[in-house]
Amino acid sequence: MDIKRFLADDVREGMMSVRSLLGPDAVILSNRRVGAKIEILATKEVDAQSIMVGAEAAKKKSRVEVHDFSVDASKTPNVTPVAVKNSDSEKSSSDKSATIKTAQDTSNAKSNAARPNQFTVHEAALLTDQQSVGAGPQQSQLGPRQAAPARVRKQQKEAEDAVNLFKLQQELGALKDMLVGELTRLRRPVYTASNADQQIRDYFAELGLSRRAIDDVAVGIDAVELLKKGSDKETWRTLLCSLGQKLIVQPDELIDQGGVFAVIGASGVGKTTTVAKLAARFALKYGRENVALISTDTLKIGGEDQLQTFGKLLSIPVNVCADSKQLTSALKNAMDKKLVLIDSAGHSQRDIKLNHHLSRIKMHGEYAKNLLIVSATSQTGLADEVMKAYNHAPVHAAILTKADEAIDLGSGLSTLIQEKLSLAYCCKGQGLSDIEVARISSILSTSFAMMRKSKRLNKLQYKEKRIHA
C-alpha cells in the first residue's frame, strides 16, 4: 500500500493538499498534531468496496511537506478504507444507493472501533468548515464529540499566542529602556577643568556680560561639579545667584534724605528724563515746593527746553546755568530746598569743568553727589569713559535706564560689576512714573527673561532664512 504523510499548518490546508495530490478518492488513515503542525496519513489505493467521490473541491496552494515511505503488508495496520456518500452518488440508481449505504455503515463501524481518528477527505472538509464558519446548512457527520476537541485546541493556541505576545512586548520594552540609558550616557559630555570653565563663560556671555565682568563673576565657581550634577535649569540658577552676589544696590531710597545730586553720563543715555522722574517721585512724597531743578545743558539744541517742559508739568521752576557763576547763584537760591537735581549735557570739557566747580561747593553740610546714568542700550565701556572723565569726584550711585529698549542688560551690568557701583534705580519706559528702586531679584529675572526672548527671536529668524533660502 502506497501511504503518504502530509504536514500542514491546519486541517483544512492538509485536506486540500491531500485532494490536490491524491485526488478526490483518497482515503485518510489517521491524523494527529505534531508540534505546531497537523500530520495526515493518506493513501490512494482502495478496495472493490470503495466508492468514488464525485465532487472535487477547489485546489489551494499551501506550504505542505509530503513524504513517501513504503509500508510492508505485515507492518501495515489493519485499516479499512472508508468512503462517504456524495451528491453524485445520490443521483445514481436506488440499488447502487442501497449498496453504498450498507458498505458505508459497515466500514464506519469497523473504522471507528479500530481507529477513531480515521475519516475521509470529505468529512474533514466538513469539519473544518463547521469550525471556521459556524453552523450552516451542512452539518458535520462526525458529531459534537469530535468537533469539541478542535475548538478547545484552537482556544488553547490563541491563549498561548497572547501570552507569548505579552512576553515579547515586555522584552522589547526592557530593550528600549536599556538602549535609551546607554545613549544618554554616551551623549553626556565629559567635562574637564578647561572646557567646563569655558562652558560657564558661555553661559554668562549669553547674558551680554563683558569679558572683564565674566572674570569677576566666574571666580570661585566649581565649573566641573556644577555641570556634572546639575541640569540646565539648576546651572542657570546657580550662575544667576553668583551674578547677584556681585551686584550692589542701595539699601534705602536714595533721594529720601535729600541733598544735591548732579546727574552725569554720556549724551543720549536719558539724563534729562531721569531728572524729571526723580523730581516727580520726590514731589509726590514731600511736595513740589521742596524740589529745585537746575539745567547746565545750554549747548545742545533744545536741551534746556526739555527740562523746562517737564518743570511745567510738575509745576517746578527750572534754573538754566551757562557758567560757574550762574551755577553758584542758582545753588544759593535753592538753599531752602530739600532736594536739588542738576542736569548736565554730557562729558564735554565744559561739563567737566562745571562739575569740578560743583564738587567744591558745600550745601547743608554736604558736597554734591554724582549720579552716573548707565544706559542698557549703550556700548560696553562707554560708562567707564565717563567715569574716567569725572575722576575728580567719586560716583555715589548709578541709575540704569532704557531697560525696556535693550536686547539684554549685559552692558549696564558689566559697568556695575567692573566699577563696583551701587545701583539705586531702574528705568523702564518714557513716562515719569516708569522708575523703580533697584532690586537684585528683579534685575536677574529681567536679564534672564531678555536672554530667553533673544534666543527665541534668533531661532525664528534662522528658520525664516532657511524657508526663504
pLDDT tens, residue by residue, 270-317: 899 999 999 999 999 999 999 999 988 777 766 678 888 888 888 998
Specify whether the CB–CB gap between 351 and 344 falls below 8 A. Answer: yes
Q: What distances in angstroms separate CA 267 from CA 77, 300, 417, one per listed residue?
A: 118, 10, 22
Q: Is 195 left (phi over 0), alpha (psi -120 to 50) or beta?
A: alpha
Beta partners for residue 292, in sequence order: 340
Global pTM value: 0.57
pLDDT at residue 59 is higher than 70: no
Which one is predicted more confidently, 119 or 255?
255
Radius of gyration of the chain (CA): 51
Q: Which of 50-54, 165-169, 233-237, 421-425 has the lowest mean pLDDT?
A: 50-54
* CB-CB contact of 426 with 403 (8 Å): yes
Instruction: Enumerate residues 6+ apart whose C-beta is below 8 A from 42.
Output: 3, 4, 6, 18, 22, 26, 27, 28, 29, 121
pLDDT at 144: 52
DSSP letter string, 407-446: S-SHHHHHHHHHHTPEEEEEE-SSSTT-EEE--HHHHHHH
C-alpha cell at 71: 509500508
Ordered DSSP codes for 151-163: HHHHHHHHHHHHH
User: Is the pLDDT assigned to residue 191 strictly greater than 90?
Assistant: no
More confident residue, 116 or 143: 143
Q: pLDDT value at position 187?
A: 63
pLDDT at residue 22 greater than cutoff 90 = no
**pLDDT at position 125, please?**
45
Range 6-22 average pLDDT: 87
23-52: b (≥16 Cβ within 10 Å) or e: ebbbbbbbbeeeeebbbbbbbeeeeebbbe
The answer to whether 247 touches 416, Cβ cutoff 8 Å, is: yes
Residue 87: predicted pLDDT: 40
Q: Does residue 229 carry a pLDDT above 60?
A: yes
What is the grid cell recorded at 329? Answer: 547763584
Question: What's the average model confidence in pLDDT over 172-185?
Answer: 80
What's the confidence (pLDDT) of residue 350? Answer: 73
pLDDT bin (cut points 50, 70, 90) of residue 468 is: low
* Span 340-352, pLDDT tens digits: 999 887 766 777 8
Asked if pLDDT for residue 320 goes beyond 80, the answer is: yes
Taking the CB of residue 452, how many other CB atoms lie within 10 A of it? 12
Q: Which three cell numbers stand for residue 266?
A: 554720556
Q: Is the pLDDT of residue 115 over 60?
A: no
What end-to-end distance do the CA atoms of the chain give, in Å?
Answer: 82
**Confidence (pLDDT) at 145:** 53
Q: Encode pLDDT of 60-113 as tens digits.
A: 444 445 554 444 444 444 444 443 334 444 444 444 443 434 444 444 444 444
Between residues 311 and 230, the one the model is more confident about? 311
CA 94 from centre of chain: 84
Residues across the chain = 469
Grid cell of 16 as nine digits: 486540500
What pLDDT, on the 0 to 100 scale, is given for residue 244? Answer: 92
Residues of the chain with pLDDT > 70, as a percent, come to 73
Residues 172, 177, 178: CA angle, nearest 5 degrees:
95
Is 401 a residue whose pLDDT tops 60?
A: yes
- β-pairing, 37-43 vs 27-34, is antiparallel
Res 436 pLDDT > 90? yes
Using a pLDDT cut of 90, give the percent of the chain over it.
19
Q: Is residue 207's pLDDT more than 70?
A: yes
Nine cell digits for residue 225: 561639579
Mean pLDDT of the chain: 76
Distance, CA of 359 to CA of 124 (rounded, Å): 118
Residues 402 and 272: their CA atoms lie apart, in Å, by: 13
Contact by Cβ (8 Å): 334, 340: yes
Write down the H helix ranges in 91-192: 94-114, 121-133, 144-187
Q: Give the 3-state secondary structure of residue 26.
A: coil
Out of 115-124, 175-184, 365-374, give the one with best mean pLDDT.
365-374
* pLDDT number for residue 1: 65
Instruction: Quickly state the pLDDT bin for 167 (edges 50, 70, 90).
Output: confident
